[in-house]
Amino acid sequence: MASDLEQPKPVSFSDEVREAELDSAREPLINRGAHVEERFSVCAAILPFLFPALGGLLYGYDIGATSGATISLESPSLSGTEWYDLSSLEVGLVVSGSLYGALIGSVLAFTVADFLGRRRELILSSLLYLIGALLTASAPYFAVLVVGRFIYGFGIGLAMHAAPMYIAETAPSQIRGTLISLKEFFIVMGMLLGYISGSLFVDLASGWRYVYAASAPICVIMAIGMWWLPPSPRWLLLCAIQGKGSIPEAKEFSLSCLCRLRGKPVDTSTINQVDLILAELSYADEDKNVSFTEIFQGKCLKAMTIGCGLVIFQQVTGQPSVLYYAATILQSAGFSAASDATRVSVLLGLFKLIMTGIAVLVVDKLGRRPLLLGGVTGIAISLFLLSSYYTLLKAIPAVAVVALLLYVGCYQLSFGPIGWLMISEIFPLRLRGRGLSIAVLVNFGSNALVTFAFSPLEAWVGTGILFAGFGVIAIASVLFIFFVVPETKGLSLEEIEAKIL
């Protein structure tokens, strides 16, 4: 099975033998920097995307499910527990427990990602998802519930680190943007399923247990699927270059994995692609050990600036806060469904899903930059509209509804899918695991910071001024995208590293 072959066995090599292997690997390579057109079967490309994407679906499910589960958990008649009378701090631990677990998981990913490999990291995350879900659903005491939420969060941190890497490294370059953006579609679909699950079980005794337990079958499917899939060919070659195996053996196994991922027999295209990956690694003297300071130097510093800049702007343009006000805005507009928080969430989740689907369809045709520039400009406009509603136009709730829908739609066309896409493809292979773990940590950290700081800031300056501040930050993010973020449409990961970074 693939699990037995994921990492080439360490072999001791002299410098002369290793240099000879590197020279041999370079010989068949076509001119450096030339574009390698990848041949692939669409059916074969689906599964290497689908099973990692379930990690995103489980992340989204947790967000959607928790909104309904907390209603059930706090109900004297429906909780089914003697400790339903939770304080605001305890409710905060339930709601944000998985987020802080994800922060810890991101830190863990920094140390274990390159050792485990993308595939094993996803298997581990699926097991943590399963343990966390079952522990949360069966919790006899509040403390056990919180532990379950944290363990589930560990799984989120690992999955959101490894899934975009595995998809990026195994997907054909022609559809890489579509597939990684489709992972965001799965996150939103998970939210929608969580909202639906909450609305179905919210009126049942101990309904919150059913809500959390419902994710367990998906965890099992993800674990089995990732066990069956081959490891990333790029990671295999990286291990060999770093002295953890024989380069010829790793090259042969990488060819086998790549052919399986593409659904095609070995041909010139796959051989050239493996040679290009190996040459990009050996060209940069990748056999040296990676030090922590290298992450903030050269190519990786530029990639870190782009990736971390995107995920910070993704959060500090108010994404958690705007959705916090969604139910209030829709209620003020008199929508009948707005009286029920779970139904409102389902409607918003469905709209987010549709807009993400549009982004998935056009990302590899229009490119990353046009979607980011257009979408974030729309976010800025929507934030200033929200600000004007809370300061000047309270009598016209339609303004707030339009602003809310504009914000959600533009976010799902831009920051939502493109943020994850860019951080998965912008880092050099040798530093991709650690670089991406820092970007994911920054993502969850800035999310937690914005969520924590929103209420104090709102009380200090007022809702209208706060949204105007988010709008100013959105304008700054448009300038950042225009001057700093490159276009990566249609380029292989090696071409991005060689030509852009």
In sequence order, what DSSP letters do the residues of 164-218 get, joined into one string?
HHHHHHHS-TTTHHHHHHHHHHHHHHHHHHHHHHHHHHTTSTTHHHHHHHTTHHH
Tell me what the mean pLDDT of segment 162-189 comes to. 86
In sequence order, what DSSP letters do the residues of 262-311 get, joined into one string?
HTS-S-HHHHHHHHHHHHHHHHTTTTSPPPGGGGGSHHHHHHHHHHHHHH
Tell me whether residue 61 is in a domain: no
Does residue 461 have a pLDDT over 70? yes
Does residue 291 have a pLDDT over 70? no
Whether residue 274 is found in the same domain as residue 332: no
Please say which residue of 289, 313, 336 terminates a domain: 289
Whether residue 300 is found in the same domain as residue 280: no
Whether residue 483 is found in the same domain as residue 439: yes
Tell me whether residue 24 is in a domain: yes
Which residues 6+ apart lie within 8 Å of 328 measured at CB? none
Residue 137: per-residue pLDDT: 94
CA distance 394 to 16: 75
Tell me whether residue 179 is in a domain: no
CATH code: domain of residue 397:
1.20.1250.20
Please say which residue of 264, 289, 314 terminates a domain: 289
Mean of the per-residue pLDDT values of the chain? 82
Share of the chain above pLDDT 70, in %: 84
Residue 28: per-residue pLDDT: 44
Share of the chain above pLDDT 90, in %: 31
CA distance 410 to 352: 10
Residue 225: per-residue pLDDT: 95
Q: State the residue range of the domain holding 36.
A: 2-41+233-289
Does residue 31 have a pLDDT over 90? no
Whether residue 356 is found in the same domain as residue 243: no
Whether residue 10 is found in the same domain as residue 32: yes
Residue 94: per-residue pLDDT: 86
Q: How many domains does the chain have?
A: 2
Whether residue 433 is found in the same domain as residue 297: yes
The owner of tokens 């004007």 is: 388
Whether residue 299 is found in the same domain as residue 345: yes
Whether residue 267 is found in the same domain as residue 296: no
Whether residue 359 is found in the same domain as residue 298: yes
Token pair of 57 as six digits: 């679906």
CA distance 437 to 106: 6
Tell me whether residue 269 is in a domain: yes
Residue 414: per-residue pLDDT: 93
Whether residue 323 is found in the same domain as residue 402: yes
Tell me whether residue 155 is in a domain: no
Residue 372: per-residue pLDDT: 96
Buried b (16+ CB within 10 A) or exposed e, 137-159: bebeebeebbbbbbbbbbbbbbb
Whether residue 240 is found in the same domain as residue 318: no
For residue 27, name the pLDDT band (cuts at 50, 70, 90).
Answer: very low
Whether residue 314 is found in the same domain as residue 301: yes
**Contact call for residues 152 and 62 (beta carbons, < 8 A):** yes
For residue 328, name the pLDDT band (cuts at 50, 70, 90).
Answer: low
Tell me whether residue 185 is in a domain: no
Tell me whether residue 101 is in a domain: no
Per-residue pLDDT reduced to its tens digit, 133-151 = 999 999 999 999 999 999 9
Tell me whether residue 445 is in a domain: yes
Per-residue pLDDT reduced to its tens digit, 243-276 = 777 788 888 888 888 888 888 787 777 788 788 7
Residue 25: per-residue pLDDT: 46
CA distance 382 to 391: 14
